[in-house]
Structure 1
Amino acid sequence: MSDLVSIITPTFNAEKYIRDTLQSVLHQSYQNWEMILVDDASTDETVKIINEFAEKDVRFKLSRLSKNSGNGFARNVALEKAAGKYIAFLDADDIWFLSKLEKQIQFLKANNLSFTFSFYDCIDEEGNLLNRRVEAPANLTYEKLFFCNYVGNLTAIYDADYFGKITLEATQKRQDWRIWLTILKQIKVTKPVPESLAFYRIRKDSISSSKFKLIKHNFGVYSQFHGFNFVFSVFLMILFLFTQLIIKPVYIKKI
């Protein structure tokens, strides 16, 4: 279907948040979408809530995994089922502004882009604004992305007619960053929609993923994804940390 957007959403024990997430898609001003939800063997009411929406609107499409296989695996399953020209991503605890898809599709076409994203605002577990907006450079190049993942997963859209469906090994960490690197390596530069179009939920359990673990996963991007040797990967991680701690390239604004 022309200009159909396939929204990719893996879910796992998201009963506290999934209703708000689904509502934010249901009420989009751009209505030509399908939402591919793959539940990763939830043990709470997540599936029940999704089915409530799916029974009323066939654009919500749920598949269930028989055993817990991880977010990356569920995302790949969803991608395989996607039929849209455009692929968008939305995690089960995040929320879109109601004009999000409409503004991004218009921006893609007006700027002749095959990939874009937007700024986003941060909320806490209860949905309260945290007075924090994450922005990005007006022109995002592969080189800039190499040392900082500027792209919020919940804001990204790419043209599947141009790139095909981009899947990576399900076990790989920082899978979203690897997807954007794959895209930017091909097209070299893109632009973000220069406004916030989504709410990113910061949860205590996600914060508890220690910074050490994050560093380890980032090291994996250099050593596994890029294929650099150990010594060079260590060197790049030092540059990465310098970029993050000294240059601080992600633009976090108070709002």
Structure 2
Amino acid sequence: MNKIQPEISVIMSVYKENEFLLKRSIDSILNQTFDNFEFIIILDNPENKTAELKILKYSEKDKRIIFLKNEKNIGQGFSRNKGFEIAKGKYIALMDADDYSYPERFEIQKNYLELNKDIDLLFTSYEKKYPDKNSTKYIEKNHDTKKILFSGEGFLNATIMAKSEILKKHNYKLSRAPEEFELFFRIIKAGVSIETLKEVLYIYHIQNKELIDRYLNNNYGNKTFLKLLISNFTYFYRYSGYFTTLFNVFLAFLLTRNKYIFSKCIMLKDNLKIYK
């Protein structure tokens, strides 16, 4: 008997996420109201045996899961690219391993894309939860894609559902943060049609360590990001107080090499949201 062709390919990269949040994340996908999908999970940390065993147990019970394990850590961006290469669905949806998708997320996104054939890539509004249990909802009301991108909060990578050919063609060029920003900037310049749903269909969890590490770790492509900021500075100056401020923070760090001051700036930006 032939397998039913999946309409959606879900891509999730796993590294060393909290075990409880990982389970909740996987469950939130498997319990979607729309169920014709394949779930490609890439373990980007071959030493994470706890996550490997958990994912294997899930895959034994649910044949929609396709499990891949990287031989070494290559970063979320390149791990997702591996998922794009084997994806069979008409659409590709992303998911982060410590977040939560509302049960109706896929159904709503797929129906919207089916009704609006001119849209290539679709985000959802989302709720951002902080370590202190506070949260903020980001409900998109602005249809200017450049202003959304440069707001610093408008597009959330993991809420994407897109036509498969878009992400197969415009895949990630950076392995780690800011891999999503570089991707969004490139696809906007390429004329990809983007829209964001007003419905909150996703919960994005911010971890304490993430607030600093995603910017301080040299492996996270900071030099590439700075080069992107400099080469397109007129865009940022016109559209974004958020990214011009981030540019200044990066520049200060390069000049002073003071990680303490740099980390405090980043934490203020994320926690107090003073640069929106």
TM-score range, shorter chain: 0.7 to 0.9
1:228 aligns with 2:231: yes
Give 1:115's aligned amino acid: L
Which of 37, 43, 50 is 1:45 aligned to?
A: 50
Q: Does structure 1 conserve the Cα–Cα contact (< 8 Å) formed by 2:126 and 2:137?
A: yes
Q: What residue in structure 2 maps to residue 168 of structure 1?
A: 172
Alignment partner of 1:36: what SS?
A: strand
Q: What residue in structure 2 maps to residue 121 of structure 1?
A: 127
Mean CA deviation greater in 114-123 or 162-171: 162-171
Q: Any gaps of 5 or more consecutive residues in structure 2?
A: 247-268
Q: What residue in structure 2 maps to residue 251 of structure 1?
A: none
Give 1:4's aligned amino acid: E
Q: What residue in structure 2 maps to residue 179 of structure 1?
A: 183
Alignment partner of 2:26: what SS?
A: helix
Alignment partner of 1:45: what SS?
A: helix
> In 2, Cα distance between the equivalents of 1:94 and 1:12?
13
**Residues 150-199 of structure 1: per-residue CA shift (max 9 Å, x gap):** 21112111112356443233445311122222222233653211110011
> In 1, Cα distance between the equivalents of 2:109 and 2:139?
15
> In 2, Cα distance between the equivalents of 1:197 and 1:153?
13
- The 1:66–1:213 alpha-carbon spacing in structure 2 relative to 1, beyond 3 Å, is closer
> In 2, Cα distance between the equivalents of 1:188 and 1:165?
11
1:153 aligns with 2:157: yes
Q: Does structure 2 conserve the Cα–Cα contact (< 8 Å) formed by 1:36 and 1:62?
A: yes
Q: Any gaps of 5 or more consecutive residues in structure 1?
A: 249-255
Q: What residue in structure 1 maps to residue 136 of structure 2?
A: 132
1:64 aligns with 2:64: no
- The 1:130–1:227 alpha-carbon spacing in structure 2 relative to 1, beyond 3 Å, is closer
Which of 98, 103, 111 is 1:106 aligned to?
A: 111
**What is the TM-score with the length of structure 2 in the denominator?**
0.74
Alignment partner of 1:116: what SS?
A: strand
- The 1:191–1:234 alpha-carbon spacing in structure 2 relative to 1, beyond 3 Å, is closer
- The 1:239–1:155 alpha-carbon spacing in structure 2 relative to 1, beyond 3 Å, is closer
1:196 aligns with 2:200: yes
RMSD after superposition: 3.4
Which of 71, 80, 101 is 1:75 aligned to?
A: 80
> In 2, Cα distance between the equivalents of 1:13 and 1:188?
33
> In 1, Cα distance between the equivalents of 2:243 and 2:183?
18
- The 1:190–1:73 alpha-carbon spacing in structure 2 relative to 1, beyond 3 Å, is closer
Give 1:57's aligned amino acid: D
Q: What residue in structure 2 maps to residue 31 of structure 1?
A: 35
Q: Does structure 2 conserve the Cα–Cα contact (< 8 Å) formed by 1:122 and 1:133?
A: yes
- The 1:239–1:201 alpha-carbon spacing in structure 2 relative to 1, beyond 3 Å, is closer
* Mapping 1:1-16, distance limit 5 Å: 4-14=7-17, 15-16=19-20
Alignment partner of 2:154: what SS?
A: coil
Q: What residue in structure 2 maps to residue 209 of structure 1?
A: 213
Give 2:70's aligned amino acid: L
Report percent identity of matched pairs: 23
What count of residue pairs does the alignment treat as equivalent?
243
**Residues 97-119 of structure 1: per-residue CA shift (max 9 Å, x gap):** 00000011112222331111011
Q: Does structure 2 conserve the Cα–Cα contact (< 8 Å) formed by 1:96 and 1:198?
A: yes
Give 1:67's aligned amino acid: K
Give 1:136's aligned amino acid: E
> In 2, Cα distance between the equivalents of 1:141 and 1:235?
16
Q: What residue in structure 1 maps to residue 251 of structure 2?
A: none
> In 2, Cα distance between the equivalents of 1:239 and 1:193?
22
Q: Whose RCO is larger (CA < 8 A, sep 6+)? A: 1
> In 2, Cα distance between the equivalents of 1:111 and 1:238?
32
Q: What residue in structure 1 maps to residue 261 of structure 2?
A: none
Alignment partner of 1:117: what SS?
A: strand
